[in-house]
Amino acid sequence: MAIAEITVIPIGTGSTSLSSYVAGMHRALEGVEGITFELTSMGTIIEGPLPCILAAAQVLHEAPFANGAQRVSTSLKIDDRRDKAASSRQKLESVERKLSGE
């Protein structure tokens, strides 16, 4: 399973507020099968098979256009570990254990 972080920025929206675009992207992402996701203040974490993550990235990139944006900038980072199962939560727990001295 891969883990991705994606940030989608609608440009030329006429406002500095983007929350309505974020809400629209969140609703669009709910229709993508095979993934789990977590909205953060700066982007979205997506977990699932790589083909599903790439499909989700396309859905997220297209959503602002459907809501009137004229330009969209998308950044995508993918962590695709294939030697063992990984999750965003597992990665955080590993760091927390090291911080606590384990």
Q: What average pLDDT does the segment 28-34 reach?
A: 95
Q: Quick one: pLDDT at residue 43?
A: 94
Dihedral of the alpha carbons of 23, 40, 9, 17, in degrees to the nearest 10: 60
What's the mean pLDDT in 48-68?
96
Q: Which domain, by its residues, includes 84?
A: 2-100
Give CA–CA dist 11/76, Å, rounded. 17
* Residue keyed to tokens 């095979």: 34
* Residue 9 to residue 22: CA distance in whole angstroms: 9
Residue with tokens 């929350």: 19
- 17 pLDDT higher than 80: yes
Q: In total, how many domains does the chain have? A: 1
For residue 87, the model assigns a pLDDT of 87
CATH of the domain at 62: 3.30.70.930
Q: Which pLDDT value is given to residue 45? A: 97
pLDDT at 55 over 90: yes
